[in-house]
Amino acid sequence: MGDRDPGLEQKNRKRKFIHFADVILFENDNVIVVNKPAGLSSLEDRTEKSANLQQLAQKYHAGASLCHRLDKWIPGVLVIAKNQHAYREISMQLERRETTKRYLALIHGAREFQDFEINAPLIASKSGMVYVNPQQGTESVTMVNTVRKFRNHSLVECKPIIGRTHQIRAHLTMMNSPIIGDTLYGGADLLLSDLKLPGETEMRTFAATLPENFEMALKILEKYDH
């Protein structure tokens, strides 16, 4: 599935030059853990010539290989193996689901999710979007918890149990709670004018810092949507 997504990409938006060393969260002899910024493809994208995280990692350390990936406009933590032994080990951990991935999303609607399981098979269309299809879809499971509920929006934590491409986006849309700004899956931009209403082994954990626009959206919701 291609990374180009008009629902998340802002028109004429320019990505700043990325210094690989600046996005490293952790490094040892076997792995590099990075905070991938939004707008940077994980792997090579044939539709564009700009650098991707894999290329930057290999310039930093020869033989580096991404153990998993994130969509271009999704920021977050990625693990990069520095050798084949580490790559195999991380891949097996991911396959055995010995690692846990959690994603934060701002969604439309004041929702109270508590260990809510969305079990809905997904199928990809020729356009690149995925849809719920109980008959022909591939098994996809997401656990959702509300972190903070606002008047008309919510901050939720999503944990893929069985993960697929665009799974969280499609599952939240199925729940009538699309992600803010994700117009491809039914979300709308967060506009201040709409909110200012009158009267209203060794276990390691890595977390990516929130993007500036995400933090700004939270501040706006805190002020005008509670």
Concatenated DSSP letters for 132-199?
Answer: E-TTTPBP-EEEEEEEEE-SSEEEEEEEEEE--TTHHHHHHHHTT-PBTT-GGGT-----HHHH--TT
Among the ranges given (2-11, 108-117, 193-202), the one the predictor scored with the smallest mean pLDDT: 2-11
Q: Please give the pLDDT value at position 77.
A: 95
- pLDDT exceeds cutoff 70 at 6: no
Q: Please give the pLDDT value at position 97.
A: 84
Cα–Cα distance, 201 to 55 (Å, whole number): 30
pLDDT band at residue 226 under the 50/70/90 scheme: confident
Percent of the chain with pLDDT over 70: 89
pLDDT band at residue 225 under the 50/70/90 scheme: confident
Q: Please give the pLDDT value at position 10.
A: 46
Phi-psi label, residue 186: left if phi above 0, alpha if psi -120 to 50, beta otherwise: left
Cβ contact 113:144 at 8 Å: yes
Q: Please give the pLDDT value at position 114.
A: 97
pLDDT band at residue 205 under the 50/70/90 scheme: confident
Domain annotation for the chain: domains and CATH numbers: 20-95 (3.30.2350.10), 103-224 (3.30.2350.10)
pLDDT band at residue 176 under the 50/70/90 scheme: very high
Percent of the chain with pLDDT over 90: 65
- pLDDT exceeds cutoff 60 at 49: yes
Cβ contact 106:217 at 8 Å: yes
Per-residue pLDDT of 79-118, as tens digits, reads 999 999 999 999 999 888 888 899 999 999 999 999 999 9
**Angle 155-124-214 from CA coordinates, rounded to 5°:** 20
Burial zone of 25 (CB within 10 Å; 0-12 exposed, 13-18 middle, 19+ buried): middle
Q: Please tell me whether residue 204 adopts helix, strand or coil conformation.
A: coil
Cβ contact 82:61 at 8 Å: yes
The dihedral sign for the CA sequence 162, 27, 25, 36: negative
Q: Please give the pLDDT value at position 208.
A: 86
Amino acid present at 153 = H
Phi-psi label, residue 214: left if phi above 0, alpha if psi -120 to 50, beta otherwise: alpha
As given in the structure block, the two tokens for residue 141 are: 């499971």
pLDDT band at residue 130 under the 50/70/90 scheme: very high
**Annotated active-site positions, please?**
71
Q: Please give the pLDDT value at position 197.
A: 64
Burial track 31-57 (b if 16+ CB lie within 10 A, e otherwise): bbbbbbbbbbbbeeeeeeeebbbbebb
In this prediction, residues 162-186 reach a mean pLDDT of: 94
